[in-house]
Structure 1
C-alpha cells in the first residue's frame, strides 16, 4: 500500500512497485490484521504482482474478482485501466484477458477512495468521528481477491429460487447474452441426482423436483446445483422453502413453508477488535453464529452491513434466518441526502438484493434503519419496496425499522429500549402505533450492559469513556442477569397477549464502547446466563405457538 495519496489527482500517476507499506489482503487498513493500522486515509494505492500459467490464455478469458472494496476502486493491470466499482459492500468481476501476459510478472494497481461519513454514502456504522454507537471505519480491500480462467462464453451469473412445492425457478446468464444450451442438475445430500433440466441461457427456466425436503431453521436441508454450458460448469446450491405472510388466528404473521414462524435473534453488527469489518478467520466468524444457534434462536439481523459470502453460506448450513439491512447513508451532519446521493443509495440497494437473493437463509430485506439517510419530505420507501418486490418476490420487506414509518412494507417495526413494545396497544415516540395490517415486530430492544474486565474491553480511551451511554448499565452481573430475564419475560407476555411475531435483541457482541453484547468484544466471555436464556427463549416459542393455535 502507498498512502495517503495526495488527493484524487494521484490517480493520474501509477506508483512504482513495490509500494511503501506491506499490507495483508483482505483487511481494513485501520485494523490490526492489516499490519499497518492506518487511520484517516481517504485516497490510497494498493499494488502487487502476479503470474498466470500459459494455458490460461489458450482461447480462454482471465477474470479478476473482488469480493468487496470500500469505497471506490479503480483497477489497473500492467498500466491499463481495466475497471471501476463504487460501493463498499458489492463484489465485482473484471475481464483482464487483453492485459495479462503468460509466464511473465504482471502488475496490479488499485486506487481506492473512501470518504466514509464525510459524504452521504452507504457506510453503515462507520465514522471518522467516533462516538458510542458509531465505530472505527473500514477502508480498502476488506474482502477476498482472486483470479480465475473461464471459456470465451461462460456463465456470468445465476438467479435461483426453490419453493416448498419443489418448483425451481431462475435464469442462467451467459457472457454472450445469447440462448446457449444449458443443463441443470439437482443433487440431494446423499449424492443422488433428483432432477435434470435442459434449457437455454438468458431465459427464465422453471422445473419441479418431486417431494423435496424443505429448508427451515429446524432442518436446514440444502441441495447441490450444477449448471453446464458448453465447456463451462458452475456449482451452487439451494434450499426449498417458501416465505410469505398470512392471517393466523386473527393476527398478521410471517410464514415459512406455510406455517407461522416466530422470529427471535440478536442484532448482529459484524465488528471485530482485530479485523474491524473483516473476521480474522472463518472459524471466528461462524463461532458467533454457532452461539446464536446454541441458545435456541432462529434469526440474525445483519445490521447495516453486508457480510462476505461465507457468512450467508454458514447461515444456510446452520439454519439461521437472516434479516438483511441495507447499509445506511449517514453523513456526519445527518443532512438530507441530495437527489444524486439518493439515486446512488437506490442503485446500491438493488445491487445488494441482486447479489444476495440466492441465499435460502435471507428472509427479509430492510431498507431504512431509524431514519438514517431516510428522506422524509416525501416517502421513497414506498417505491423502493415496490422495486425490491420486482427484483425478488420471494421474500418479505421491512421498509422502515424504528421510526419514520408511513405504512410501507410487510412489517410494523418498533424500536424501544430496554423494554419491548411488540405488537402492543401502547407505544412510545418516535415509534408509531401498531398497525394490524402488517406484522408486529420488535426490531430492537434490550441493550442492557455490564462493564467487562479491562482485559476484555476495547482498549481505546475514547470508547471506554462512552460506556456510561449504554441504554441501561448494570453495576453487578447478578443485576444484569435479573434484568435480562425480566425483559425476555415481558416479551413473552406480549407474544402471548398481543400481536408480536418476533423480536431482535441488542446485540450479539460488545462493539468498541458498547458493552451490551451476549459476548464481549473479544468473544472470550459469554456474558449471559446461558441456562436461563435457553429457558426464556423456549418460553417465547411456546407462547407464540399457543397464541397462534
Structure 2
C-alpha cells in the first residue's frame, strides 16, 4: 500500500461513562470512558475489569492474578525516568490494557511520548509458601522500565513482545505493593526508526492513530523456585512431538507430558481428566510419537490439550498436528499443508479498533472478526505488520485460520523529496544499528509465536518499509536468522517489491486486479519467479463509503476517503466488483501458478473504507451467498491443480 503524507487531526473529547476507580486516591481523577470518533458494539460492555481471561494459553499456570483495570497515570518528559513518583498519587486514571490514545483508556490524548503508570496489588495469601512471584506484561509500547516498591526490576525494549520478571525479593510482607511503570514511546518522532507498523504521530489514510503505553494484559503468577520460563512445541503430521523447555535456572529436572483427547474449538471444561503421562524424561527436550493423530487443518482444526510437569512446575498447553512445507505439484512450486496443496485465501488484517486502537475491547470482539472471516469462506488471515495478543492466535488455532504473520515494520525515513518519483520523500534504512535491532526483535517474534499451529508463514519486509538497500540484500541474512529458530514454516522475505530472490515466495502487490503467478506484472513489481511460490500478497482494496454513522469521525480521515484505490457507489456495486476480481483470481489459479492471495482488507480503518466490515464492525459488506461460492471455486480449482478429485 502506498505512502501518503500525514498530519494528525485533533480529536474532540467528551465524557460518556463514569466508572468506579478502584485504584484512585483523593488526588486522582476518576476513570471515565471517553467519547471517541467511533465506537463498537462492545465499547459500553468493557467496564473496569477488561480482558479477564488468562492471557498466555500455551503456558498456563493455575495460580495467577489479573492486574488489568483502573491504574493511575501521568504524562511526563524524558527526564521523568530520573524522578519516579514513589508513594505519590498520579493525577489521571487510565484503564489498562488500552492504548493511551484510545477512548477506552480514559485518557485519549496524542503525543504520549513519556508516561508514568502506577497501581497497587496484593499477592494472594493462598499461594504456596516458598514459590516465586512473577510479574508479566503482554506488551508495552515501546520501552518500559518497571519499579516494584521503589526498586527497579527490569527494562524492556520492543512494543510487541511479552516479558516477565521475578519480583519475589521486592515484595512487601505487610501491605499492598506499589507498581510503577515508566514508558518511553517515540513512535516516528524525529524520524526515529523502530518497529511500529502502521502507527504514526500524524495519521493519514493508510497510516493510523498510534498506540502508546500498556496495551496487553498485566498479571502476576506463582511458580516454584525452578520453573518453565519458555516453552517451544512442534507436532507434525506423522505424530512426532518435540517439547523444548527453557527453565529459570540451570537445573535438569524430570519432565512429564500428558496428552488429552483431541477437540475441535474451545475446551468445554477445564483439562483435568485422569489421563496418564505419555512421555517422561529429564532435561530440556522431550521427543515422542503419537500414533495416527487427528491432523490440524482449516477444515478440521483438531487440538490436543496437554499438561507438562517440569520438576514441581505444572503448566497447561495444547498442540495441533500439522506439517507446513513446499514442493513441486504438477510442475508448480506450491505451499503444502500436511503434504497437500491447499490454496490460502485470506484478508489483510490490520488489527485496529476505533475504541481501543491496538487493543480490541474484549476477546469476544477480537474473535468476532475472525469468525466473520470464516463465515465469508476465508481459510487464512495475513496479520499485517502487527503482532496480536496470544489469545488471537489461540482463536485462529481453534477456528482453523491459517496465519501469515508479518514482522512489524520500520518506518522508512522521510528526508529527500527526490528519492522516488512515485513515492516522494522515501529513503531506505541507512543505520546498521537499526537493522541489527530489527533483527533482534524479529527473533523475539519467532521465539514467542512459533508454537501456534495456525501460523504457517513469516513475513520479514512489507513493501520495502525498513528494508535496507545493501549488498548482499539484508533479507538473506534475516531469512537465515529465522531458519535458526524455526525450520517448520515458510518465509516470505519481501511482500510487495524490491525482491532479490530470498525466501520461499514470490509476492506481488497490485490494486485492484490480481497478478498472481502470471506472465504479466506492473512496473513496481518483478516478473514471477517460478523457482518460488506465487502469492498475491495484496490486491482488491475496493472501497464503499460508509454512512457517517459508521465512519471514523475525524475531519481529515473523512476527506481522505477518496484516496481508496477504488470507490463503489453502493454495497451492491461493491459486491459486483468483488465478484469480477474473484473471477480474475480464479482464472489465475486455473491457468497460472497462483497459490495464495490476500484481499485488502478485514475492516475499514480510520480513513480507509475497503473492509469486509465497517470500522465499527456494524456493517458486513459481502453478499455471503455469492462470496461463499466464489471462494469455494478458488479452493476447487486449486484442488484440481493439485491433482485431487473434486466433486461438483
Q: 1:352 aligns with which of 445, 461, 465?
A: 445
Using the alignment, how far apart are the partners of 1:201 and 1:110 within structure 2?
36
1:370 corresponds to which of 453, 463, 480: 463
- Closer, same or farther: CA 377–447 of 1 in aligned 2, 3 Å: same
SS in 2 for 1:32: coil
TM-score, normalised via structure 1 length: 0.98
Alignment of 1:447-458 (within 5 A): 447-458=541-552
d(CA) in 1 for partners of 2:106 and 2:259?
Answer: 44
- Which stretch of structure 1 is more off in the superposition, 390-399 or 176-185? 176-185
1:299 and 1:320 in contact (8 A); partners too: yes
8 Å Cα contact 2:340-2:642 kept in structure 1: no
Unaligned runs of 5+ in 2: 1-71, 264-272, 415-425, 644-648
Q: Decide whether aligned partners of structure 1 residues 192 and 323 sit closer, same or farther in structure 2, where only a CA change above 3 A counts.
A: farther
CA deviations over 1:284-331 (Å, ceiling 9, x no partner): 100110011111111000000000000000000000000000000005
Determine whether 1:72 maps to 2:164: no
CA contact (8 A) 2:73 2:94 kept: no
1:157-185 deviation line (CA, Å, top 9, x unaligned): 11100000100013112112221111111
Matched, 1:219 2:300: yes
Q: Is the 8 Å Cα contact of residues 423 and 498 (structure 1) preserved in structure 2?
A: yes
Query: Any idea what SS the aligned residue of 2:470 has?
Result: coil
The aligned counterpart of 1:326 is: 407
2:380 pairs with 1:299: yes
3-state SS of paired residue (1:17) = coil
2:545–2:609 Cα contact (<8 Å) kept? yes
Q: Residue 59 of structure 2 aligns with which residue?
A: none
Aligned residues of 1:27 and 1:142 also touching (Cα < 8 A): yes
Q: Residues 262 and 294 of structure 2 are in contact (CA less than 8 Å); yes or no, is this contact kept in structure 1?
A: no
CA contact (8 A) 1:68 1:90 kept: yes
Between the aligned partners of 2:161 and 2:381, the Cα distance in structure 1 is 20
Please show how residues 134-283 of structure 1 align to structure 2 within 5 Å. Answer: 134-189=207-262, 193=275, 196-202=278-284, 204-283=285-364
CA contact under 8 A between 1:17 and 1:48: conserved in structure 2?
Answer: no
Out of 12-21 and 458-467, give the one that drifted further: 12-21
- Structure-to-structure mapping, 1:23-34, within 5 angstroms: 23-34=94-105
Q: Which moved more, 1:46-55 or 1:501-510?
A: 46-55
Q: Distance in 1 between matches of 2:568 and 2:126?
A: 64
2-side partners of 1:324 and 1:171: how far apart? 22
The two structures, once aligned, show a CA RMSD in angstroms of 1.3
Aligned residue number for residue 478 of structure 1 = 572
* More moved, 473-482 vs 508-517: 473-482
Task: Return 415-424 or 474-483, whichever deviates more.
Answer: 474-483
2:625 matched residue in structure 1? 531
Alpha-carbon separation, structure 2, partners of 1:524 and 1:22: 30
- Whole-angstrom CA distance in 1 between matches of 2:129 and 2:113: 40
Q: Give the SS at the match of 1:22.
A: strand
Contact 2:412 2:465 in 1 (8 A): no
Structure 1 position 477, deviation (Å): 2.6
* TM norm structure 2: 0.83
Q: How many angstroms apart in 1 are the aligned matches of 2:630 and 2:313? A: 51
What displacement does 1:188 show? 1.5
SS class of match (2:636): helix
Is the Cα contact below 8 Å between 1:54 and 1:102 reproduced in 2?
no
Which has the higher mean CA deviation after the structures are superposed, 152-161 or 85-94? 152-161
Matched with 2:396 is 315
Aligned mates of 1:71, 1:383 — CA distance in 2: 25
Alignment of 1:374-453 (within 5 A): 374-378=467-471, 379-453=473-547
CA distance in 2, matches of 1:413, 1:6: 43
| Structure 1 residues 44-59: aligned runs within 5 Å | 44-54=115-125, 56=127, 58-59=129-130
Residue aligning to 2:637: 543
Shift of 1:349: 0.3
Correspondence for 2:199? 126
Structure 1: unaligned runs, 5 residues or longer: none
Measured in 2, the distance between the counterparts of 1:76 and 1:166 equals 45
Contact 2:376 2:622 in 1 (8 A): no
SS for the counterpart of 2:458 is: strand
Deviation of the 1:332 alpha carbon: 5.3
Tell me the matched-pair count: 547
